[in-house]
Chain A
Amino acid sequence: MLRRLLGTVLIVLGLVSAGLGVASATVWRPSDAVVATAKPVGDGTLVVTDPGVLELVGSDVTISATVPDKGKVTLAVGRDVDVDGWVGIDHSTRVHGLSDWTTLDATADVPEIPKPAEGQQPAKPGTGANPAGNDMWVAQESGEGTVQLRWNDRPGRWSLIAAGVGGGATAPTLTLTWPREVTNAWLWPGVGAGVVLVAAGVLVLVLRRKGRAAPAQGPRGDGGAPDGDAVKTPVAMGGVFGTLTAPGATPAAAEPSADAAESDATEPDATEPRPSTAALPTRSALRTSRRARREAAEADAAVPVADVAAPEAAAPVAGDVAAQAQPPAAAPRSPMPMRWAAFGRTPDPAPAPAPAPESAPEPQPAAEAPAEPPTATGAIRMTRREMRAQEEARRAAEQTGITGRLRALTGSIPVVRPGQPPAPDPDDPPTRASRSQAWRQAWGFDPDAAQNDRNDAEGGAR
């Protein structure tokens, strides 16, 4: 019970974490710009920033100065000593930094007036002076009403001077806009942690299931349980990530076989390699069957009488391939019930009766071989098998249709046919050599085999 609770909590936390990570990069994503404004203070017509203010948030700043009534305004950036020298004894609004993220910290600055030389009038601060056009500025802009200036930080101490120009001018309102580098720093950590937590939660639930399944195994004595479990764990592990892909894989795997089945139906001539390959839940099944078809066609073209030797040579091979294909064929289908079980929807009566048999029957018909004479002589037994496989493939194809998908969705297990235990063909138990030979042939790895095939096809004249 605790485990179940823990697993559920972990999954929920994982989802929350991933959600937070995503939210941090979307709804909670901070604004792309910092916009800070300074209202003029005091009676000066100048606004001056301290060195370092322009690059306070980022090296790229857009400076905007606005004066009321379409007055003239000038923006200029220069070395701090130059700006201070230019301002001289004029009153100004001094910007020292950010008081918060939207307000610039500004104070009124009233410089001391230096003592005049003997017999001279003391200097008087002026207003409305225009800094535009001075050789010292490295960037400047003038205009009426509102003026904008972009500034990219460079080495050195830089100050900004914003001036309301002319008689009766007022100091401009200064706005600094920095584009902010918004990194989605929390996105992937959040999502990653979420995934890990969900995986951990699922693992906890699965382990719990396994722990419970183990004692149940004895009474049931199925023999299928351990098998099912062995498959189960890895599937459940991968299932968290592969949830979406698995259902898709099932029809994909089945389609080639359906294809092969069709081709078989239309071309009964093509002999036994196909039934076996039809059972292969891989794409190569299609390829193999095509090749077989082509070769068969060649053989047909060469000699009207179908060759007996070739099928015979291939016969055990084909059967073996089918046998080998059995576990993989079962794998893609079985996860569905497992997964649902893993999520705890059907906690108690685990549908242990391994779903494997249900999908496995394809190769079995190899064992029972009711004779039914096909077109090619000497291939009677094989043709029976083929017919049987064909039927199975057809059924498999049906399963992959809407019913198959529904089953995948609901996770309910259809009525299990009273299938025989999966047994290899008792007639010709596969040898290791023949198995590997079949594998090489099926995947086209063995040039000799291909050669043999051709020889056989040619030797059909014998």
Chain B
Amino acid sequence: MTTTTTARRRGARWGAVGALLAASLVLSACSSQPPSPQPDPASSGPVLSVDQNSTVLTSINAVLDKATHDLNPDLLTSRLEGPALTVRKSQVSVAKIRNSADLVTVLPSEYQQIILPTANTWPRTSFAITVTTDKLQPQRLLALVQSSPRAPYKLWGWVQLRPGVTMPAFADPKLGSELLAADDKSLLVSPKDVVAQYADLLTTGDQSAFVGSFEPAADDPFRALIKSTRETQTAALTGPNVGGTYTFTVTPTPNTPIQAVRTADGGAMVMASLDAVEAMSAVAGAVLAPSTKTAQALLQGQNPTNKLTNGFSDMVALYVPPAGSDQKVKLLGYSHVQTSAKIG
């Protein structure tokens, strides 16, 4: 009896021993196949992290500060492009002429909101909204563009937000917002059309055919500003003894992209650059002196005549509701800076 049990037990034990030996052999033969890459699945995300974007903004601010401090507009090209470069270059040049940076737009370096895109292609545009500073600077919306993969992000444009504006909601910067093409069809008006229509609205005032799509002129501070300027100047120039003319024409800046980013409600924020030309003339012999310090600086050394042309580089940010919405296109902010002046 003892022998049989032992035999059986021994068999089991030998089995266990064999298993152990096998395990030991497997252990010693541990040179297995190397793993193959298993990347995370592709997912849409912001092109930059908030930290990276902060670095970009810091770098841009450094360039802005240095150019303003040195009164050297040439420094700007490393981090500015498009309308922002045009405006800033002019401002720094004017500051250099006037030897004062008073009229250079202050761009606060603290940000209330960051809007990052999800694009996998170029150009890419991100936005930043500055805080209200204690120096009563209005909030500003900045647009930053990376035009190609090897290019840095550059400040493309900025507008000052209209006072008390309610900004549309955007996706969280950790998720990223969709960038829209200029001809996007999902909006009440495509970005390209809405910019052209707004330019027309500024040029022709309430007679524009597109008035219906936009909020009333009285609510729009930029249109109100242009309207009042136009009325004042026209009254002055077309007076009985002056016999002059006044025209104010706004067109979308040629060869300049339109930046459009999706808002949370399916609409879009559209930012575009506009060229405004203010042409004034009076009877021969009259003298039209530049009225602003900027114009004076730009016309430094020239004798005023009876003709004067002021060029403005304007930027606007518009909220465009989604297609089918009964909301109106609304101005979010604008920038109206004289960048050129011409006698004659």
Contacts and interface: CB of A to CB of B under 8 A. Distances in A.
Contacts of B17: 9-10, 13, 197
B148 to A, nearest CB: 8
B47 A97 contact: no
B245 to A, nearest CB: 42
Interface residues of A, number: 48
A138 B56 CA distance: 12
A135 interface: yes
Nearest to B38: A52
A28 B59 CA distance: 53
A432 to B, nearest CB: 41
Contacts of A51: 37, 39-40
Contacts of A133: 152
Interface in B50-71: 52, 55-56, 59
Interface in A39-98: 50-53, 56-57, 79-82, 85-86, 88, 96-98
19 contacts: A2-B6, A2-B10, A6-B13, A16-B24, A17-B24, A24-B27, A52-B40, A56-B37, A57-B35, A82-B47, A85-B121, A97-B34, A97-B37, A99-B34, A134-B152, A135-B52, A156-B45, A157-B42, A186-B27
Nearest to A208: B6
Nearest to A36: B34
B123 to A, nearest CB: 11
B222 interface: no
Given A135-B48, A197-B17, A82 B24 contact: no
B48 A136 contact: yes
Given A6-B6, A85-B120, A135-B52, 14 more contacts: A16-B24, A28-B30, A51-B39, A52-B37, A85-B122, A85-B149, A98-B34, A99-B34, A100-B34, A101-B31, A101-B34, A133-B152, A134-B149, A134-B150
Contacts of A20: 24, 27-28
A115 B56 CA distance: 33
Contact of B150 (A16, A53, A129): A129
B153 interface: yes
A81 B120 contact: yes
B256 interface: no
A155 interface: yes
B99 interface: no
A86 B20 contact: no
A50 B36 CA distance: 11
A79 B17 CA distance: 52
A220 interface: no
B149 A86 contact: yes
Given A133-B152, A135-B152, A135-B153, A10 B40 contact: no
Given A85-B122, A135-B153, A136-B48, A155 B40 contact: yes
A10 B6 CA distance: 14
Interface of B: 2, 6, 10, 13, 17, 20-21, 23-24, 27-28, 30-31, 34-40, 42-43, 45, 47-49, 52, 55-56, 59, 120-122, 146, 149-150, 152-153
Contacts of B35: 56-57, 97-98
Nearest to B122: A85
Given A82-B149, A134-B152, A138-B52, A211 B2 contact: yes
B149 A136 contact: yes
A355 B152 CA distance: 93
A17 B13 contact: no
Contacts of A211: 2
Contacts of B13: 6, 10, 200
A168 to B, nearest CB: 20
Contact of B37 (A6, A96, A193): A96
B37 A50 contact: yes
A200 B13 CA distance: 9
A28 B31 CA distance: 11
B34 A135 contact: no
A157 B40 contact: yes
B2 A135 contact: no
A53 B37 contact: yes
Given A50-B37, A97-B37, A136 B30 contact: no
B81 to A, nearest CB: 14
A138 B39 CA distance: 17
- Minimum-distance CB pairs A-B, first 9: A52-B37, A52-B39, A51-B39, A85-B149, A98-B34, A86-B149, A81-B120, A20-B24, A186-B27
A97 B34 CA distance: 9
Nearest to A13: B17
A211 B3 CA distance: 12
A316 interface: no
A133 B55 CA distance: 11
Contact of B146 (A16, A135, A157, A186): A135
Interface string A179-213: 00000001001100100010010000000000100
